[in-house]
Amino acid sequence: MHIGMIGGIGPAATEFYYRNLVKAHQLSGNGSKLELTICHAQASDLIHNIQAGAVDEQVRIFEVFANRLRAAGADVMAVTSIAGHFCISELEKVSPIPIINALSGLESVLAESDYRKVGVLGNKVVMETRLFDSFQNIEIVVPPEKSLDDVHKAYMSIAVSGAVTEEQRRTIFQAGRKMCEEQGAQTVVLAGTDLFVAFDGQDCGFNYTDSALVHIDAIHRASLRE
């Protein structure tokens, strides 16, 4: 199956998706070829529309790319940004091809692990609007106000630059540990695709679930279907 991806939001996240999809395909060992087309969206547009709550404007932008991906032969598509899913329900209504929704796959993985309370790390809008509140039988917790602002600032800097400082990593890790130790979170969802930059190869001191890897697995499985 030909996979279409809307990338660029941000570039480091797109590279993460691409690299891990290629790796998963190579490890599958079934001899099939990965068919993949990526369209580049502007991270600045997404950030502006998330902050402004401009759902319709972002849907219009994504719809253009969805049509472009269909024209390129894509059978299904994915948005390579968890934050970009703030308008996913509305996008699904107008997309010319089916969307591999990161949220539905994540909910299934959390439920299978019997997690009843999970923390969330990501940008401020994702945490404040509780993008995952639609999850059934799963309680969502977020960092308290001051820590939430600090995590947001650190994450947005990482998303734009594709790099992390030790101070930013410390801010994010402390927030995650506190959600587990003080708020009872059984795992912390990395709800910002670019957070892998901070976590890769590091011992953060708490259990976490990388939503991007869950999404990538769903995309990979779709790519293997006829």
Class of domain 103-212: alpha beta
Question: For residue 84, what is the DSSP state?
Answer: G
- pLDDT for res 88: 93
pLDDT in tens, 131-176: 777 788 899 999 998 899 999 999 989 888 889 999 999 999 999 9
Instruction: Examine domains 3-102+214-223 and 103-212 and report if their fold is the same.
Output: yes
d(CA 16, CA 20): 6
pLDDT in tens, 83-129: 899 999 999 999 999 999 999 899 999 999 999 999 999 988 888 76
> Is residue 7 within a helix (H) or strand (E), and if so which, with residue range?
strand 3-7
| CA-to-CA dists, residue 169 to 7, 125, 128, 160, angstroms | 24, 20, 21, 15
Question: Could you give the angle at which helices 43-52 and 145-161 cross, rounded to 10 degrees?
Answer: 160
The structure tokens listed for 78 are: 């994915």
Q: Using pLDDT thresholds of 50, 70 and 90, give the confidence band for residue 130.
A: low
Q: Residue 79 in contact with residue 88, Cβ under 8 Å? A: yes
* Burial (Cβ within 10 Å: 0-12, 13-18, ≥19) of residue 133: exposed
Mean pLDDT of all residues in 50-54 = 88
The structure's pTM equals 0.91
Amino acid code (one letter) for 137: N
| CA-to-CA dists, residue 35 to 11, 27, 198, 221, 224, angstroms | 20, 16, 30, 13, 10
In this structure, the number of other CB atoms found within 10 A of the CB of residue 92 comes to 12
- pLDDT for res 77: 98
Q: Using pLDDT thresholds of 50, 70 and 90, give the confidence band for residue 184.
A: very high
Q: Give me the residue spans of the domains in the chain.
A: 3-102+214-223, 103-212
Question: For residue 34, what is the DSSP state?
Answer: P
d(CA 153, CA 138): 27
**Of all residues in the chain, what percent carry a pLDDT higher than 70?**
99
Q: Residue 175 in contact with residue 121, Cβ under 8 Å? A: yes
Q: Is 3.40.50.300 the CATH number for 3-102+214-223?
A: no
Whether residue 226 is predicted with pLDDT greater than 80 in this model: the reply is no
